[in-house]
Amino acid sequence: MNTLSAEAWPAIALTLQLASLTTLILLLLATPLAWWLSQTHSPWRSVVAAAATLPLVLPPTVLGFYLLVLLGPQGWVGQLTTALGLGTLSFSFSGLLIGSVVFSLPFAVQPIQHAFEAMGRRPMEVAATLRARPLDAFISVALPLARPGLLTAAVLSFAHTVGEFGVVLMLGGNIPGQTQVVSTQIYGHVEAMEYAQAHWLAAGMVVFSFLVLLALMRLQRKPDRLQA
Amino acid sequence: MISLFYFRIAITTNGILISHSDDGLPKKRLPMNASFRTSMGSLWRALLSASLALLAVASQAASVSVAVASNFAAPMKQIATEFERDTGHKAVLSFGATGQFHAQIKNGAPFELLLAADAQTPLKLEQEGLALTGTRRSYATGRLVLWSRTTGLVDEAGTVLRTGKFAKLALANPKLAPYGAAAWQVLAQLGLRDALRPRIVEAANISQTLQFVASGNAALGFVAMAQVFESGKLREGSAWVVPEQMHTPLRQDLVLLLPGRGKPAAQALLAYMQSPKARAIIAAFGYTL
């Protein structure tokens, strides 16, 4: 039967591994960043907010190219990692992970930031009058209130990483078993005119993305009903 | 069993994927299994095992990493299979655009051998000191074909371009793709450049050109012979094999890159590309040698 090729499974495995780790790292990075953006009056706020949204509008190949140069042997990040004995990170799983985190950053920051902003200042002020320390209040008041935003951020980061193409192709080099993910493998199949295999992977991707977004829509319906 | 692993990760990360039925699709033992289990645990353990898996791949002495221009993907897959059967070495193929490979190799890509879509890129890499001198040579010369999926539309002399019974003519971007540049030269030779200009649709590369024509969005287009011929015969539709003297030769060169220096598998593949078996495959896909 002419279905998925043998190389498809390592690519699917790598894609899910990449998406899971990207989501985890993004939640850890984006939560404090989103909190700061939602609370601060600093003049730097708009600059940081714009920089954090940049990956949303930049073409992925541009982003991939800059990351490639930055992480490469001549780039300052590449020279730093080489000096630390890590070698260069481009064309490795770690490099892909960095690229994916940058690429999906806005998809994690935006929903969390909006959730924090929608919460208003009052819950934290109330917590403070009950003598909760700021960190304590953040963990036991702000985070639970922002739960829908965190969930949306996680789902979008995961789905967006699964679907990314330009960055991983440029930064990863499409090496089977190392940096070849589902999207770059579809590209390879199309280039090799193996349309049947390309269709199987592509259809799987469509179904997967639809299910993820469907789940997200269902999760998002709940708060609306409570407000009504 | 293995397929369950994939989805368990998805479940723990966002709690939305509920089940995946075991449908008997082909399964393969994966070297990165260990890292699956750990990615559910701590991030650091997962990162560590991921890098160990990479080390495991890197330490396989008998494998060669090859960057292949996408127009040569199909023949190279066959050659790689034969190469593995005959020598025991494994050729790990990555497909992409030649220009992109150039940028990646400049920035430290670990490719050991480049099969480019042109002759300039290997030369440039050699001049930049990123390729080994004396290893650069032509491995195939492409043939340009005017092709339509409609039987009888394209005649064997290409007069359809003059009679003009078509709405759109597809060709690849002449700045990026050698086949696109060759197509423009053919139109110039025929004196049809200006007459046909309003009907030309430009694709990013040669495989997109094929998609334009194969999907019927463009009635005909200039594609690579390798894309529409199989074992010397046209697969479907109608075609005009453009005479070679109508455009500059579509010479494709290969070159050994710095990471391939002294690697037995890379040397073996370099030699294998000239073997009668490889040459037969290259010719069967519509390339001249």
Instruction: Check which CATH number belongs to the domain holding A94 and give it.
Output: 1.10.3720.10
CB-CB under 8 Å, B43 with A25: yes
Start-to-end Cα distance in chain B: 47
At B228, which amino acid appears? Answer: V
In a domain, A170, yes or no: yes
Q: Could you tell me the domains of chain B?
A: 2-57 (no CATH), 61-141+250-284 (3.40.190.10), 144-241 (3.40.190.10)
- Segment B46-85, tens digit of pLDDT: 444 555 444 444 444 589 999 999 889 889 999 999 999 9
Residues in B touching A21 (Cβ below 8 Å): 39, 43, 46-47
Q: Is A84 on the interface with B (CB under 8 A)?
A: no
- Would you say residue A115 lies in a domain? yes
Domain assignment present for A144: yes
Tally of structural domains, chain A: 1
Residue A6 lies in a domain: no
CA gap A91, A184 in Å, rounded? 13
Per-residue confidence (pLDDT) for residue A170, from 0 to 100? 84
CA distance B156 to B243: 11
A86 touches chain B (CB under 8 A): no
Residue A76 forms part of a structural domain: yes
On whether ipTM exceeds 0.95, the answer is: no
Question: Which B-chain residues 55-114 have CB contacts (< 8 A) with chain A?
Answer: 57, 65, 67, 70-71, 73-74, 77, 92-96, 100, 103-104, 106-111
Span B200-212, pLDDT tens digits: 998 878 888 998 8
Chain A hits for B211, CB-CB cut-off 8 Å, are: 190
pLDDT at B19 over 70: no
pLDDT tens-digit map of B166-188? 989 999 988 878 899 999 999 99
Alpha-carbon gap, residue B221 to B148, rounded angstroms: 7
CB contacts under 8 A, A 7-46 vs B, are: 9-10, 12-14, 16-17, 19-21, 23-25
Task: Report yes or no on A78 lying in a domain.
Answer: yes
Per-residue model confidence as pLDDT tens digits over A20-32:
999 999 999 999 9
Residue A4 lies in a domain: no
State pTM to two decimals: 0.71
- Structural domain of A80: 25-41+53-223
- List % helix, strand, coil for chain A (3-state, nearest 5): 80, 0, 20
Whether A89 is in a domain gets the answer: yes
- B186 contact partners, CB below 8 Å, separation of at least 6: B144, B222, B242, B246, B247
